[in-house]
Amino acid sequence: MAAGFYIKLESYPDIKFPTPKGLIAWLLPHISEGDAQKLSDWFEKSSSMVARWIILELPGNNGSPVYTLNLYARRHNTDRGPKLGLRASRRKPVRASGELPECIRSSGLNVIDRADIHSRDLSNEIKGLETAHVVFVGVGSLGGAVASQLVRAGLKQLTLIDPDNLESANLGRHILGADDLGKPKAQALQYRLTRDLPTIDVAAFNTYAQFIMELKPEIFEKADLIIVTTADWESEVALWTKKAEGATWGLLQGWSEPHTLVGHALIAPQGAHDGRYLFSDNGDFIHRYTNWPEGGVIPLPACGESFIPGGSAGMTNIAAMVAQAAIRFLNTHQHGPAWVTSLYRPQDAVLSGGKYLGPELPEGTILSVLERGWPESEKNNI
């Protein structure tokens, strides 16, 4: 027997809160005949429960306010107490008594409904996200933040691909936390997103995108947009190769320059587009806006690995830029290849030993986002 009963009111009852004895009389004139019979049956059969709930939706269209009444019996079920020599399964069940509740209270109710979750966003951007399937190649500090922003903006279906596990050095700028240390980033983020927003559909793969492209090509074939943020040139080349062959999905490559003062996104719409000419043979962006000793990459001792330095606040700016670019694409506002750049006080590069090479910004500009077509220079060097 369910502990709750849902009713759609046909008219408004008296605003005065009912007494326990007057609850049924207070409700019956305002519900359908069929609901009245079901309520009466449920009320009697569930009366053995200490706590029950009646959920009332006010008259009107779908989405009308919903209120909850808590019915409390305030009694001890002596038949449920311990019985010497009898296992719980052999004890006699409590019989439905049909008794009225001794106390009625109101309580809040949160409805896990997509329309309600996204009701505060009146921009209509959710329209392009509701039916889209986005594949995230890389869910590190940038990709994970972009995925989180997009599902909160209304993205319903997404696939997460990342071969790495979460390490303590990731915690400072990743949306995952200490509870996820040692776990695969893709699966941990899948759990985090579905826990926060249960109405989304998330698949996760703890492997490289190249393997998924070969073993499960339908995942990419059914995607509307691929967002790659791995900073791994092999993965990026594999995706650009497919895109140059005319893949139907859009491709968005996003990354941060060292120290997260500058971030970029390259967007390629449906059809054949190849952005590899914008990078050197080892994957460095030719049109970077900052210059750093040793390329700004910090080697890790004794392991042959390295990292790109940057803080959480700067990465948040870049993630917002990438997420907004994805939203524009999914709402068909992006018809040609685009290059988007986020700039936050880029002149501060000198404080960390670097140099700003980008365009001069108006005096007083702190945060800026630029959007234009792909650079034409060196295009013949594909």
DSSP string, 156-218: -EEEEE--PBP-GGGTTT-SS-GGGTTSBHHHHHHHHHHHH-TT-EEEEESS-HHHHHHH-HH
Lowest mean pLDDT among 198-212, 242-256, 292-306, 352-366: 292-306
Give tens-digit pLDDT for 283-299. Answer: 999 999 999 998 888 88
d(CA 358, CA 286) in angstroms, rounded, equals 12
Given a cut of 60, whether residue 364 has pLDDT beyond it is yes
Domain 117-381 CATH (choose: 1.10.10.10, 3.40.50.720, 3.40.50.2030, 3.30.420.10): 3.40.50.720
Give tens-digit pLDDT for 224-243. Answer: 999 999 989 999 999 999 99
Lowest mean pLDDT among 50-59, 97-106, 182-191, 324-333: 97-106
Residue 24 confidence class, pLDDT cut points 50, 70, 90? confident
DSSP result, 217-250: HHHHHT-SEEEE----HHHHHHHHHHHHTT-SSE
Residue 84 confidence class, pLDDT cut points 50, 70, 90? low
Q: What 3-state DSSP class applies to 292?
A: coil
Tokens, residue 35: 């609901």
Q: Are 192 and 174 in contact (CB under 8 A)?
A: no
Residue 66 confidence class, pLDDT cut points 50, 70, 90? confident
Q: Where does the chain hold its CATH 3.40.50.720 domain(s)?
A: 117-381
Q: How far is CA 170 from CA 173, 175, 254, 304, in A?
A: 6, 9, 18, 18
Q: How far is CA 188 from CA 29, 160, 184, 255, 344, in A?
A: 50, 10, 6, 22, 30
d(CA 55, CA 46) in angstroms, rounded, equals 15
d(CA 196, CA 191) in angstroms, rounded, equals 9
Tokens, residue 373: 């077509």
Given a cut of 80, whether residue 166 has pLDDT beyond it is yes
pTM higher than the cut 0.85: no
Q: 133-137 and 157-161 as β-strands: parallel, antiparallel, unpaired?
A: parallel
Given a cut of 80, whether residue 257 has pLDDT beyond it is yes
Q: Calculate the average pLDDT of the chain.
A: 89
Tell me what pLDDT residue 90 has.
52
Q: Are 299 and 306 in contact (CB under 8 A)?
A: yes
Which residue, among 332, 275, 343, has the nearest Cα to 131 in the 3D structure? 332
Given a cut of 50, whether residue 380 has pLDDT beyond it is no
Interaxial angle between packed helices 185-196 and 143-153, expressed in degrees from 0 to 180 and rounded to the nearest 10: 20
Tell me what pLDDT residue 81 has.
53
Tokens, residue 339: 């290059």
Given a cut of 60, whether residue 270 has pLDDT beyond it is yes
Give tens-digit pLDDT for 203-223. Answer: 999 999 999 999 999 999 999
Lowest mean pLDDT among 4-8, 273-277, 304-308: 304-308
Pairwise pLDDT comparison (58 vs 377), residue with the higher score: 58
- H/E stretch holding 264 reads strand 262-268
Q: Work out the average pLDDT over 309-322.
A: 96
